[in-house]
Amino acid sequence: METQTMKAPSWHKGSVKIAITAITAAVVAVSGAGVWLFNGDEGPEQPGAGAPRFIVRRGNLRITLKKKGPFDAAEAMPVTAQISGSAKIVWLVEAGTAVNKDDVLVELDRTNVENQIEQYKSQVVKAEADLVAAQADQEITRLSSESKIRTAEMDVEMAGLEVKKFLDGVKPKELRDATIKIDQAKVKLSQVTSVAARMPEMLKQGFVTKEEVEESELDVQTAENALGSAKLEHEILAKYTHPMRLKQLRSDKLLTAAELERFKEEAKRRKAQTSATTTQRELELASAKRQLAEARERLEKMTIHAPGDGIVVYGSGRQHRWRQEEELAVGSTAHQNQTLMRLPNLNTMQLVVEVHEADINKIRIDEEHPQQAIVTTDYMPGKGFPAYVKGVDTLAQSNWYKQNIKFFLTTIALEKQIPGIRPGTTATAEIFISQLDNILLVPIQCVDTVGGVSYCYMADTGKKREVVVGASNNTFVEIKRGLKEGETVLLERPAAAAAEQEQPDNADKQRPELKPPSTRARGKGAR
């Protein structure tokens, strides 16, 4: 709630004495305005015989506004429940206790937080085990991937060597062997052909038999077949076998290279998976540790310590528009960030009163010439303490139990602190509004209002006379028209007039500004 505030004035020298007598001055100022009189039994009986009366006179009317309220400290250290959610109060320091900094003020129920701590401890142990397993799996995966990659790299290298071996060694050797075989077959064919060519002559001369001639011819045929086979083998080797083997070797090399790339990609994928799993386990462990640490902090906050030295005052000290502040006691519930109590600075006491919205225009804030007031309290009866209006809330409020009544919280500051005053002590502030000088005055009980019209009953006739009233305080009211100075009026409605009075259906039975007629006054003299 926003509040207009001001500093205590420095010009009030001598105002203490004036302010202390302000209440008395209001009565003294109007004491010469009239006199309460009683008729005795002497003289003839008058219409208002025996009734108290008042002689209308001129005087000064001091208008004030009286409001009750509690003392509170302008400065106070709040004691809040810095917890999450809510908790039951299991121990509470008594209100009014003088405490020192770090003294225990409130103990809250620790059961739920202690259960949470045990739960978070288990979560931390599990998270640590999961992290160790994830790290081990990550290392195993790394070693396995590295092994597969090294094997595949070796296979690729071996496949390359096999191609080179074939091109540089196997192929030339086999072609050379095939060529040698052809040359051998040619030599053999030449030899057997030369022998076969001499066989007919030798047969004629009888050196060989016919069978030997035939055998020689068969050798030639065999040699020719062997030469043809050698040539065919060479051709097959050069045109088919070697190209096929080279293609197969090169294909094997490509396959091993592809296998190597596959192993590398798989290693990356598995590394990413295991790294993600390990990171997730690390986060889970960190979260569990953080929750455990926070729970331990909450456990510490279940014990609320005094932020400084002071006297314990329950409650936040703030007005609640829609609800009544819950009474602080063992067994009640403390909520998150709720101000449970305060440690007020007793050297900054001030009065907080509720000013009805109909009266708020009478209150002013002026730093140079503040609106004066007098504060009285049962704590020190018979004494008035000079004060002034320090601030007024910007917005109106209403009590939770009577929301149709609007008021403004108004702060009354003391010019000098009252020794020994405690927060919550009730006091009355009489705020000076204005003063009207040399006006016609009668006591408020002289005026009777019916249907919005005001009347006074004349002492000499007992009849009512319509009057126009002006300003008033708790004792006197201004008469603007209808009465003259020196006339005598009754202080209450005559019994006969009261019996015969007929009220209209819409009669206003309650005067807006004046109190209803009081009971018969006692004694004589000024009031």
- pLDDT of 514: 43
Cα 300 from chain centroid (whole Å): 20
Whether the per-residue pLDDT at 45 is higher than 50: the answer is no
Percent of the chain as helix, strand, coil, to the nearest 5: 40, 25, 30
CA distance to 342, 344, 474, 495, per residue, from 70 (Å): 15, 14, 22, 43
pLDDT of residue 148: 92
Two tokens at 419?
């020794």
Nearest residue to 79 (alpha-carbon basis) of 370, 332, 315, 274: 315
The SS3 of residue 179 is helix
Q: How confident is the model at residue 25 (pLDDT cuts 50, 70, 90)?
A: very low
Q: What is the mean pLDDT of residues 34-57?
A: 62
Report residue 404's pLDDT band, with 50, 70 and 90 as the boundaries: confident
Give me the mean pLDDT over the 395-419 stretch.
Answer: 86
Q: For 306-358, what is each residue's pLDDT tens digit?
A: 999 988 988 876 654 444 556 889 999 999 999 999 998 888 899 999 999 98
Per-residue pLDDT averaged across 95-112, rounded? 93
- Contact in structure between 454 and 525 (CB atoms under 8 Å): no
pLDDT reported for residue 206: 86
Q: How many CB atoms lie within 10 A of CB 218?
A: 12
More confident residue, 138 or 206: 138
Phi and psi angles of residue 207, each rounded to the nearest 5 degrees, phi first: -80, -25
- pLDDT-wise least confident of 25-39, 58-72, 116-130: 25-39
Q: What are the tokens at 313? A: 């005052």
Confidence of residue 402 (pLDDT cuts 50, 70, 90): low
Give percent above pLDDT 70 in the chain: 82
Instruction: Give one word for 162, left, alpha or beta, with left for phi > 0 and alpha for psi -120 to 50.
Output: alpha
Instruction: Give pLDDT tens digits for 425-451.
Output: 899 999 999 999 999 999 999 999 998
Would you say residue 397 has pLDDT above 80? Answer: yes
**Whether residue 23 has pLDDT greater than 50:** no
How many other β-carbons are positioned within 10 Å of the β-carbon of residue 524?
10
Packing angle, helices 242-301 and 111-165, rounded to 10? 170
| Residue reference for tokens 């293609």 | 247
What is the amino acid identity at position 437? D
- Predicted pLDDT of residue 48: 54
447-450 and 453-457 beta bridge pairing: antiparallel
Predicted local distance difference test score (pLDDT) of residue 524: 32
